């Protein structure tokens, strides 16, 4: 017997009919398939000659009856950016109700009331479901770094005649039932690329090669008690492996090249997986969740309709912001949303003033919209672009030539970037105690450089402050410098120091960078000054990293290297400063 036979038996029980034509209409199977299955069910003693249930069939119904459900709702929903900036994906409204509430109510209609929801991102927003539906919440505190296999492992004790349900599915018909006779995994009848499995004629699910088309995976599954034990053992084994962190829960259902669950094939148009903004638009154009502040800004600034926005894609998180790429009316744009704690780091009004100064100079990317109060910004995407390669000499020379030309414009704004003042400001943000045990000594050393810096004769002009390789954008022969949020009046040579420390250059590479900018004509005093800036900026960004770490944003080696710059370049600067003093005495 296979899944089709059990599915036909299920429909005979539910609809209380053995009429072959009626069963064909209900199941979509041919009359030939119906007749063949009835014969198999009779020969296996599930039906008698009058197509009535036998005791064996009744025992099967009791043994496989659905008892619980686990809904997986812990993830960020990054592909739903920007809609999931404010609410988790499971709470998006589709056809008048949050996705997860519709799923819960469909489970209740199938007499399944023991429901566990694995939550993580914005977990507090799910709390009301405890009172409304008497569900249990299981918290996945590692949702930001683990895939949904880990979520299911947290609910491992709940898996026994259970539905496993992703939170982002909207089914036109209830996918759950009071009767389940076999273990299954839901797929649609549509063959698509990037699927991992394909149903064969026996309704088995076979793992396929990456370049093959397979059935569209929905992710809803029903796991009977016998299969649950196998899946639990597989999960425990996977937990000890290197693949565990990034694995989907379906990996635990594999036995060789087959899933241990049969295919439950449903019509493609009857099931929506709400993974992206485009999916939600396609499923429910009137969803109240589409009333997003970010979407409204796009529509207003680009004079567009919601239906003209598509291909929204979350970009890799930057050090300060969260951004997404989108298409609108045939053009690509980037929407910048300030990141965690940014309001304490950046004055958006001052940033706005900088963009007003440079907007007609052909220096930066094209700004379509910017809000000086909250920092939301839309820029036109530069097609065919790439970032500067900090280890390619041709790129470095081009960036330094561009930077020098910008400095020579001697643009001005009303605000300054006080390096020493910012160090102390960031200290206040990160808290009284640094994680570095010798911080006080290092700070005292760096602040020894203050008199040397302040007594030098130097020019002040608009300086980028964050002139790092990632912010230089190459398009053919053109270069643009982006992300001006830290820009202010300062010694422009600070930009050289910043390029070096972000690139994690050693001393030889830093000296080479200085020589490129000054075309081999950098005097010893200026070099000492740039060394001092490297030390000062290293301590500055080290404190910045500590503050961001306290907010849950970790920068790994970058933060350690910044602190190291503060130590090492203090020494290099002092050596040159002393050398300058000796030359003056002579």
64-273, what's its fold? Answer: Spore Coat Polysaccharide Biosynthesis Protein SpsA; Chain A (3.90.550)
Q: What percentage of the chain carries pLDDT values higher than 90? A: 73
Q: What is the DSSP string of 218-285?
A: EEEEEE-HHHHHHHHHHHHHHHTSTTGGG--GGGGGEETTEEEEEEEEE-GGGEEE--SHHHHHHH-T
- Distances in whole angstroms, Cα of residue 323 to Cα of each of 334, 378, 546: 7, 10, 22
Categorize the per-residue pLDDT at 585 as very low, low, confident or very high, splitting at 50, 70 and 90.
Answer: very low
Whether 168 has a pLDDT exceeding 60, the answer reads: yes
Q: What is the pLDDT of residue 457?
A: 84
Mean pLDDT confidence for 76-93: 85
Rounded distance between C-alpha atoms, residue 375 and residue 340, angstroms: 12
Domain 292-379 class in CATH? alpha beta
Mean pLDDT confidence for 77-104: 89
Q: What is the pLDDT of residue 570?
A: 96
Rounded distance between C-alpha atoms, residue 242 and residue 244, angstroms: 6
Q: What is the pLDDT of residue 584?
A: 58
Q: What is the pLDDT of residue 586?
A: 44
Contact 35, 20 (CB under 8 A): yes
Mean pLDDT confidence for 258-262: 95
Rounded distance between C-alpha atoms, residue 357 and residue 350, angstroms: 11
Phi, psi of 57 (to 5 degrees): -65, -40
Q: Give tens-digit pLDDT for 122-141.
A: 999 999 999 999 999 999 99
Categorize the per-residue pLDDT at 550 as very low, low, confident or very high, splitting at 50, 70 and 90.
Answer: confident
Mean pLDDT confidence for 247-256: 94
Categorize the per-residue pLDDT at 321 as very low, low, confident or very high, splitting at 50, 70 and 90.
Answer: low
Whether 437 has a pLDDT exceeding 50, the answer reads: yes
In the numeric block, which tokens belong to residue 66? 């659905």
Mean pLDDT confidence for 520-526: 94
Q: What is the pLDDT of residue 28?
A: 84
Contact 268, 214 (CB under 8 A): no
Whether 44 has a pLDDT exceeding 90, the answer reads: yes
Mean pLDDT confidence for 163-177: 95
Mean pLDDT confidence for 29-35: 89
Token pair 């910044």 in the structure block, residue = 562
Token pair 């249930």 in the structure block, residue = 53
Q: What is the pLDDT of residue 228?
A: 95
Q: What is the pLDDT of residue 582?
A: 63
Q: Give tens-digit pLDDT for 447-499.
A: 999 999 999 888 899 999 999 999 999 998 899 999 999 999 999 999 999 99
Rounded distance between C-alpha atoms, residue 450 and residue 351, angstroms: 26
Token pair 């910043």 in the structure block, residue = 498
What is the average pLDDT value for the chain, to the nearest integer? 92
Mean pLDDT confidence for 40-66: 93
pTM over 0.85: no
385-585, what's its fold? Answer: Aminoglycoside 3'-phosphotransferase; Chain: A, domain 2 (3.90.1200)
Alpha-helix runs per DSSP H in 359-493: 393-408, 419-430, 439-447, 450-455
Q: What is the pLDDT of residue 583?
A: 60
Domain extents for the chain? 3-62, 64-273, 292-379, 385-585
Mean pLDDT confidence for 68-92: 88
């Amino acid at each position: 017997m296979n899944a089709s036979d059990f599915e036909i038996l299920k429909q005979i029980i539910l609809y209380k009919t053995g009429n072959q034509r009626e069963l064909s209409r209900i199941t979509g199977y041919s009359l030939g398939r119906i007749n063949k299955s009835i014969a198999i069910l009779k020969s296996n003693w599930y039906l008698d000659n009058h197509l009535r249930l036998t005791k064996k069939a009744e025992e099967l119904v009791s043994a496989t009856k659905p008892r619980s459900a686990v809904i997986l709702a812990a993830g960020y929903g990054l592909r739903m950016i920007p809609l999931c900036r404010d609410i988790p994906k499971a709470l998006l409204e589709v056809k008048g109700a949050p996705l997860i509430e519709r799923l819960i109510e469909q489970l209740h209609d199938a007499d399944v009331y023991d429901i566990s929801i694995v939550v993580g991102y914005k977990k507090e927003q799910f709390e009301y479901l405890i009172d409304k539906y008497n569900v249990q919440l299981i918290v996945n505190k590692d949702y930001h770094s683990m895939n949904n296999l880990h979520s299911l492992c947290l609910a491992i004790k709940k898996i026994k005649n259970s539905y496993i349900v992703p939170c982002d599915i909207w089914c036109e018909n209830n996918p759950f039932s009071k009767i389940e006779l076999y273990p299954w995994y839901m797929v649609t009848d549509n063959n698509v690329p990037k699927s991992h499995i394909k149903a064969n004629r026996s309704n088995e699910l076979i793992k396929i090669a990456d370049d093959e088309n397979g059935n569209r995976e929905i992710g809803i599954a029903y796991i009977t008690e016998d299969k649950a034990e196998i899946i639990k053992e597989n999960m425990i084994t996977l937990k000890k492996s290197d693949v565990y962190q990034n694995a989907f829960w379906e990996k635990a259902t594999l036995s060789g090249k087959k899933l241990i669950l049969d295919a439950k094939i449903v019509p493609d148009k009857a099931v929506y997986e709400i993974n992206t903004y485009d999916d939600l638009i396609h499923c429910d154009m009137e969803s109240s969740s589409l009333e997003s502040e970010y979407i409204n800004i796009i529509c207003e600034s680009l004079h567009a309709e919601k239906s003209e926005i598509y291909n929204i894609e979350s970009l890799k998180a930057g050090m300060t912001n969260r951004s997404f790429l989108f298409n609108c009316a045939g053009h690509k744009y980037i929407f910048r949303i300030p990141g965690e704690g940014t309001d304490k780091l950046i004055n958006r009004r001052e940033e706005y003033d900088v963009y007003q100064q440079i907007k007609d100079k052909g220096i930066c990317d094209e700004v379509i919209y910017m809000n000086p109060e909250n920092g939301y910004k839309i820029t036109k995407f530069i097609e065919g672009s790439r970032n500067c390669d900090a280890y390619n000499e041709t790129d470095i020379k081009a960036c330094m030539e561009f930077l020098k030309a910008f400095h020579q414009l001697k643009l001005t704004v009303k605000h300054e970037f006080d390096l020493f003042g910012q160090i102390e400001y960031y200290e206040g943000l990160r808290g009284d105690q640094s994680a570095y045990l010798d911080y006080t000594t290092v700070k005292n050393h760096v602040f020894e450089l203050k008199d040397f810096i302040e007594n030098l004769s130097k020019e002040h002009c608009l300086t980028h402050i964050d002139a790092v390789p990632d912010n230089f954008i190459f398009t053919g022969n053109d270069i643009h410098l982006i992300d001006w949020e830290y820009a202010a009046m300062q010694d422009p040579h600070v930009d050289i120091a910043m390029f070096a420390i972000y690139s994690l250059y050693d001393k030889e590479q830093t000296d080479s960078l200085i020589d490129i900018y000054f075309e081999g004509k950098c005097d010893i005093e200026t070099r000492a000054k740039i060394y001092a800036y490297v030390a000062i900026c290293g301590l500055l960004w080290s404190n910045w990293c500590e503050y961001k770490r306290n907010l849950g944003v970790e920068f790994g080696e970058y933060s350690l290297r910044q602190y190291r710059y503060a130590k090492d370049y203090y020494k290099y600067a002092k050596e040159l400063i002393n050398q300058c003093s000796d030359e003056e005495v002579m």
